[in-house]
């Protein structure tokens, strides 16, 4: 007895194949097919402040962007360099405190403190993480998980920078409009910048380090230097996000080292699609507003992210972005075997 | 003398925390980031059984240990088994489970200072001029017995030898007819029970608070890294080093710096001797 068996096969759409090589762009249709997703993303992000109602949700947009920058730095570090950093809060906290200190002790305006926080904070984080750079996989993750806790303890123990109260009375951005466009532009610049960067020669070395560091070492390339560079890029992004956060809330304190900043970007990356760079942004656009809606439930929010995270890791480990890309580029049909 | 006595007690409690993590990692190579959550959940189950259901203390402890073991096995069988061998996913998944458990407990109202377990035995004893209560002594004795028992178990029973075989070389163990998934599941169960034992021994000395779950996770990881991940004996000796170092810091510098010592120990170990005190060369390759 035989039963009819069939399987699903996926075939690239004709238009995708035609528009794959840039020289083959023959029509407006192909051009549109190629640029439409990118255009929707950019235009959508830029239009976002006008689309949402009220001050409260406009503030949420800024928070989304801050998490998106952090998630982007996690994605870059984990899937293009092979260093899984569980310490997003370390970057946010360092950047936040540096911006806060520069602003409240030296009264430097926000437009200088944010870039300064990115550079100084990036250098600081890289310096502290330098001893751990030879580590791989689990070991790096464990050590980075501890850094934010460590920093919070130190600030508490020495009672510096306002101790447990934090630094208060920090200047905000001059207008809400400016604040939102600043963070949105930063997200877009980082997103496309990193996408470009990972295909350059340096980016290829990063990927090679992830795949086989011994081989890279054997080719006479100093892998620690490259890893330090990657950590600097990622932590500068995180610190910039932290600096923006400080100026948005006009406050920097120990809770910037809290777990929220470590777990949410990871959850967003997994949901959006790890290794796609756009995925983290999409993940943040979904997760952060939902978490705002759940604000009344307190710590149940974290339970919520964590369960979504586990669910996606188990059942949909490729994420939304990969899924969408597959639908956009390929069609499926059942064939008989 | 005070330093000696309390250093030893602190070391034994650190060793108790670290053993479970070391066991799971040693056998199944899964870094169980939910260790702290398992520790805390055992405390809460014991508390609930003892106060809410009015069971005798001893029985509620045994029951909660069973619950913990089963929970660990379920966690492995239904979640971690699917991501086993994928480093990033293992860490994220187990960390997320731990986080979910801890934060759910926090949401469930288990916070504040009013959750305590009774000590096993009241009273205290003078040990070289230092008052030590019986509970701490019992904890030390059980801790040492547990390590000895584990050593005997892994060297002289079939199951223990199978676990050890899998820890040494999983593929060879598979060829000899050892079911590696079953063994990893059992290891997870044992690890969870060890976390539970640590909880029932240590928690009566203080309050049951959710935050201590994170601290336990960090301390057990610190102990395991310093001792060499996957090496139980290493974890045991490393617990003594960190334990004494912590007590010395508390006495001479201040109690705020306890956690700093642990992190410094990790970083120094990783820089100076990445495979840990008792780690093997094979692990060095994976790590650096």
B288 contact residues in A (CB cutoff 8 A): 134-136
Burial of A265 (0-12, 13-18, 19+ CB in 10 A): buried
Q: Express each pLDDT in A217-248 by its tens digit.
A: 888 888 889 999 999 999 999 999 998 888 88
Buried b (16+ CB within 10 A) or exposed e, A154-192: ebebeeebbeeebbeebbebeebeebbbbbbebbbebbe
The CA-based angle B171-B96-A243, given to 5 degrees, is 125
Nearest CA-CA distance, residue A113 and chain B, Å: 29
Q: What is the pLDDT of residue A1?
A: 57
Q: Express each pLDDT in A92-120 by its tens digit.
A: 989 988 888 888 888 888 888 888 999 99
A98 lies in some domain: yes
**Distance, CA of B32 to CA of A123 (rounded, Å):** 32
> Average pLDDT of A179-203?
90
Q: pLDDT-based confidence at A146, cuts 50/70/90? A: confident
The reply to whether A298 touches chain B by the CB within 8 Å rule is: yes
A4 lies in some domain: no
The residue range of the domain holding A96 is: 60-257
B106 contact residues in A (CB cutoff 8 A): 299
A243 lies in some domain: yes
B221 contact residues in A (CB cutoff 8 A): 142, 146
Q: What is the pLDDT of residue A229?
A: 92
Q: Which tops the pLDDT comparison, B121 or A271? A: A271
Domain covering B2-111+125-287 in this structure, CATH number: 1.10.3470
Mutation pick from A137, A139, A314 vs chain B, by most beta carbons of B within 10 Å, is: A139
A49 lies in some domain: no
Lowest pLDDT segment from A166-170, A300-304, B276-280: B276-280
**A4-8, A280-284, B216-220, range with greatest mean pLDDT:** A280-284
Mutation pick from B18, B90, B96, B108 vs chain A, by most beta carbons of A within 10 Å, is: B96
Q: What is the pLDDT of residue A190?
A: 92
Phi, psi of A108, rounded to the nearest 5 degrees = -90, 135
Please tell me which residue of chain B has the smallest CA distance to A263: B96
A154 contact residues in B (CB cutoff 8 A): 260
3-state secondary structure of B130: strand
The reply to whether B267 touches chain A by the CB within 8 Å rule is: yes
Q: Which tops the pLDDT comparison, A97 or A52? A: A97
Q: What is the pLDDT of residue A191?
A: 92
| Structure-block tokens of residue A301 | 């929010």
Helix (H) or strand (E) holding A84: none
Q: What is the pLDDT of residue B114?
A: 65
* Chain A residues 209-228 with a CB less than 8 Å from chain B: none
> Average pLDDT of A150-174?
76
Q: What is the pLDDT of residue A68?
A: 92
Q: Determine the angle formed by the axes of helices B180-202 and B2-28, rounding to 10 degrees.
A: 160
The reply to whether B112 touches chain A by the CB within 8 Å rule is: no
Q: What is the pLDDT of residue A232?
A: 93
Q: Express each pLDDT in A12-38 by its tens digit.
A: 888 877 777 666 667 788 888 888 888
> Average pLDDT of A256-266?
80
In which region does residue B148 sit, left (phi positive, over 0), alpha (psi from -120 to 50) or beta (all else)? alpha
Q: What is the pLDDT of residue B111?
A: 63
Among candidate residues A320, A86, A61, the one with its CA nearest the CA of residue A187 = A61
Nearest CB to B260 within list A134, A145, A153: A153
A309 contact residues in B (CB cutoff 8 A): 92-93, 96
The reply to whether A263 touches chain B by the CB within 8 Å rule is: yes
pTM: 0.83
Q: What is the pLDDT of residue A73?
A: 92
The reply to whether A193 touches chain B by the CB within 8 Å rule is: no
**Distance, CA of A255 to CA of B125 (rounded, Å):** 43
Nearest CB to B92 within list A135, A156, A266: A266
Phi, psi of A273, rounded to the nearest 5 degrees = 125, 110
The ipTM of this complex is: 0.77
* Chain B residues 146-205 with a CB less than 8 Å from chain A: none
Contact criterion met (CB < 8 Å) for B266 and A306: no
pLDDT in 10s for each residue of chain B, 288 residues: 777 777 888 888 888 888 888 888 888 888 888 888 888 888 888 888 888 887 888 888 888 889 889 988 888 888 888 888 777 788 888 888 888 888 888 877 666 556 677 776 666 777 666 777 777 888 888 888 888 888 888 888 888 888 888 877 778 888 888 888 888 888 888 889 888 888 888 887 777 777 778 888 888 888 888 887 767 777 888 888 888 888 888 878 777 777 777 777 777 777 777 666 666 544 444 444
Q: What is the pLDDT of residue A179?
A: 84
Mutation pick from B40, B88, B261 vs chain A, by most beta carbons of A within 10 Å, is: B88
A275 contact residues in B (CB cutoff 8 A): none
B270 contact residues in A (CB cutoff 8 A): 131-132, 135, 139, 143
**Distance, CA of A306 to CA of B224 (rounded, Å):** 25
A171 DSSP assignment: P
**Distance, CA of A245 to CA of A165 (rounded, Å):** 17
Nearest CA-CA distance, residue B228 and chain A, Å: 11
A138 contact residues in B (CB cutoff 8 A): 31, 87, 90-91, 229
Number of domains in chain A: 1
Do the beta carbons of residue A28 and residue A22 sit within 8 Å?
A: no
- The neighbour count for residue B95, using CB atoms within 10 Å, is 26
The reply to whether B257 touches chain A by the CB within 8 Å rule is: yes
Please tell me which residue of chain A has the smallest CA distance to B96: A306
């Amino acid at each position: 007895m035989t039963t009819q068996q069939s399987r699903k096969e996926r075939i690239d759409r004709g238009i995708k194949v035609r528009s794959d090589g840039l020289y083959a762009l023959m029509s407006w249709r192909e051009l549109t097919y190629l640029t439409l997703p990118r255009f929707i993303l950019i235009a959508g992000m830029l239009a976002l402040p006008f689309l949402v109602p009220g001050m409260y949700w406009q503030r949420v947009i800024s928070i989304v962007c801050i998490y998106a920058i952090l998630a982007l730095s996690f994605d870059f570090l984990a899937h293009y360099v092979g260093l899984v950093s569980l310490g997003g809060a370390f970057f946010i906290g360092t950047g936040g405190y540096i911006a806060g200190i520069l602003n409240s002790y030296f009264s430097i305006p926000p437009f200088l403190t944010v870039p300064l926080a990115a550079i100084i904070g990036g250098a600081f984080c890289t310096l502290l993480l330098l001893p751990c750079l030879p580590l791989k996989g689990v070991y790096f993750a464990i050590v980075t998980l501890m850094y934010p806790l460590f920093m919070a303890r130190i600030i508490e123990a020495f009672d510096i920078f306002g101790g447990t109260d934090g630094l208060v009375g920090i200047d905000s951005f001059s207008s809400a409009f400016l604040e939102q466009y600043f963070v949105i532009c930063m997200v877009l610049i980082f997103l496309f910048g990193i996408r470009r960067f990972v295909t350059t020669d340096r980016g290829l070395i990063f990927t090679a380090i992830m795949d086989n560091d011994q081989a890279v070492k054997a080719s006479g390339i100093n892998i620690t230097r490259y890893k330090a560079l990657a950590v600097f890029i990622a932590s500068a992004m995180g610190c910039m996000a932290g600096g923006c956060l400080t100026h948005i809330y006009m406050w920097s304190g120990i809770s910037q080292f809290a777990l929220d900043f470590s777990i949410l970007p990871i959850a967003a990356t997994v949901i959006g699609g790890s290794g796609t760079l756009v995925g983290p942004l999409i993940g943040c656009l979904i997760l952060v507003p939902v978490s705002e809606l759940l604000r009344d439930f307190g710590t149940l929010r974290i339970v919520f992210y964590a369960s979504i995270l586990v669910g996606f890791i188990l059942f949909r480990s490729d994420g939304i972005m990969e899924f969408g890309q597959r639908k956009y580029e390929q069609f499926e049909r059942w064939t008989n075997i | 003398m005070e330093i000696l006595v309390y250093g030893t007690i602190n070391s034994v409690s650190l060793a108790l925390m670290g053993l479970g993590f070391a066991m799971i990692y040693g056998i199944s190579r899964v870094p169980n980031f939910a260790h702290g959550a398992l520790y805390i959940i055992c405390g809460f189950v014991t508390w609930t059984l003892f106060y809410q259901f009015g069971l005798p203390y001893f029985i509620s402890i045994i029951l909660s240990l069973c619950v913990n073991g089963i929970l660990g096995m379920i966690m492995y069988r239904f979640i971690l088994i699917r991501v086993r061998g994928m480093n990033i996913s293992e860490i994220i998944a187990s960390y997320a489970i731990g986080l979910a458990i801890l934060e759910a407990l926090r949401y469930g109202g288990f916070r504040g200072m009013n959750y305590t377990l009774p000590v096993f035995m009241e009273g205290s004893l003078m040990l070289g001029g230092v008052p030590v209560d019986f509970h701490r002594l019992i904890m030390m004795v059980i801790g040492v017995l547990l390590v000895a028992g584990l050593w005997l178990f892994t060297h002289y029973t079939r199951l223990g030898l199978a676990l050890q075989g899998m820890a040494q070389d999983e593929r060879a163990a598979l060829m000899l007819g050892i079911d590696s998934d079953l063994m990893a599941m059992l290891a997870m169960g044992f690890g969870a029970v060890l976390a539970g034992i640590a909880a029932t021994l240590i928690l009566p000395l203080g309050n049951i608070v959710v935050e201590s779950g994170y601290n336990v996770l960090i301390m057990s990881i610190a102990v395991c890294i310093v001792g060499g991940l996957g090496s139980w004996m290493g974890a045991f000796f490393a617990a003594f080093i960190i334990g004494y170092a912590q007590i010395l810091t508390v006495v001479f510098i201040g109690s705020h710096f306890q956690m700093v010592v642990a992190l410094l120990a990790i970083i120094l170990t990783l820089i100076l001797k990445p495979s840990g005190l008792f780690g093997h060369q094979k692990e060095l390759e994976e790590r650096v």
